[in-house]
Amino acid sequence: MHKEKKIRVLRIINRFNIGGPTYNAVFLTKKLSDKYETMLVGGAPEKTEADSMHILEEYGVKAKILNEMKRNPSFFSDRMAYKELKKIIREFNPDIVHTHASKAGALGRKAAHSCKVPIIIHTFHGHVFHSYFGKTKTTIFKFIERYLAKKTTSIIAISEKQKQELSIEHKICHPNKIEVIPLGFDLNKFKENRTENRIKIRLKHKLNDDHIAICITGRLVPIKNHDFFLQVVNEVHQKTTKKVVFFIVGDGELYQDIERKTKTMKHHGIDIRMTSWVKKIDEFNAGMDIICLTSDNEGTPVSLIEAQASGVPVISTNVGGVSNIVKNKETGFIIKKNDLHAYASQLLKLIEDQELRNSFSSKGWDFVGKKYHYNTLVKNTESHYEKLLSEKNDKRN
């Protein structure tokens, strides 16, 4: 009896830094059924980014590190990475090349097309078509993505909102070419041991029962708009008598600038603390009362999914796929971007009203627990692979 040949998937990710793409790539590498053989390739994180290799270790996933794949465009390093990817493709001989995020998507798809890989898939984890660059650069990026889309069998968007933006607003490709598959995470750990974890974290950070702990989690980079968060903090501080403690979780190029601003705020009596990255975010979230996001652009923000899985109310600017992952006025508040007064007043409402916080908290898990679990991600992705493989075989016959 002949052993059935496995379907080979080469998965290429930008960099192994903290964020949704690493989790997505790890779960899809580890959890696909036995009919698939997956090889994972990705660039190393930048010096200002948190390394996510511990996520690979946690789930027993091995990956090939491509040091040539850098974050910033460079003719020399990009060319070296492209040549290395072509070499990997020729040696591994994949049936599917699936790329995640922009740099991997550009170099990986180009290499796969050059090597005549049967199926080429790209997942947009976010996009850079607004709030990142000026008009000229944005136009160039759109042109490149439209060109790459023609060389791609299928594009995956991580939310319905993102599909609409890619196809209708930015005209990257026809909607028929885009499949919506939400991200998936190991969410059970956010639900388990919440009471014990809350006690542990609040003891660690010297928080009493009457303290209201609010945090924002993410890279300290311009697109996350921590300046807006600090403005909100200032406004809220002036209007509440509650004991509020603010946490900024993360690291990045703006760390020193934000640290300088928080020192000034502390002089005005605001309890605001910077923790850098927290590896056991499930434990940390349990100690929080509200979790914020103030970004100018997003794909599907991981921190908001994890917050709701932790039973913590959220408040966020209305960007990217936020409206798909937060149930407005049921698990949190969604606020128009740059509306400082609205954001501060709704955050104040959550601070002042414990019953409202409890109500939002009780609905979080039911909303995200199944939809954004890695089992759902794997099932949806595998189903999409099978559909594309079937269509490819039909064309051959």
pLDDT digits (tens, 9 = 90+) for 86-99: 999 999 999 999 99
- Any idea which of 137-146, 183-192, 316-325, 385-394 has the lowest mean pLDDT? 137-146
The pLDDT of residue 131 is above 60 = no
Sequence-ordered list of residues with C-beta below 8 angstroms from that of 76, at least 6 positions apart, any chain? none
Is 188-368 a CATH 3.20.20.140 domain? no
Helix locations, the chain, DSSP H:
20-30, 53-58, 75-92, 102-114, 135-150, 160-164, 188-191, 194-204, 226-239, 255-267, 281-286, 302-309, 322-325, 340-352, 354-368, 374-396
Q: Check residue 13 and give its pLDDT.
A: 94
Q: Check residue 29 and give its pLDDT.
A: 96
Under the banding of pLDDT at 50, 70 and 90, the label for residue 299 is confident
Q: Check residue 393 and give its pLDDT.
A: 82
**How far out from the chain centre does Cα 202 lie?**
26
The pLDDT of residue 71 is above 80 = no
Sequence-ordered list of residues with C-beta below 8 angstroms from that of 354, at least 6 positions apart, any chain? none
Sequence-ordered list of residues with C-beta below 8 angstroms from that of 143, at least 6 positions apart, any chain? none
The pLDDT of residue 73 is above 90 = no
pLDDT digits (tens, 9 = 90+) for 362-390: 999 999 998 899 999 999 999 999 999 99
Across 301-330, b (16+ Cβ under 10 Å) vs e yields bbbbbbbbbbbbbbbbbbbbbbebbbbeee
The pLDDT of residue 286 is above 70 = yes
Please indicate whether the domains covering 7-184+374-396 and 188-368 agree at the CATH topology level.
yes
What is the residue extent of each domain of the chain? 7-184+374-396, 188-368
The pLDDT of residue 130 is above 60 = no
- Any idea which of 34-48, 105-119, 166-180, 272-286 has the lowest mean pLDDT? 34-48
Give the three-class secondary structure for 330. Answer: coil
Q: What is the CATH number of domain 7-184+374-396?
A: 3.40.50.2000
Q: Check residue 397 and give its pLDDT.
A: 60
Q: Check residue 3 and give its pLDDT.
A: 64
The pLDDT of residue 203 is above 80 = yes
The pLDDT of residue 48 is above 70 = no
**How far out from the chain centre does Cα 177 lie?**
22
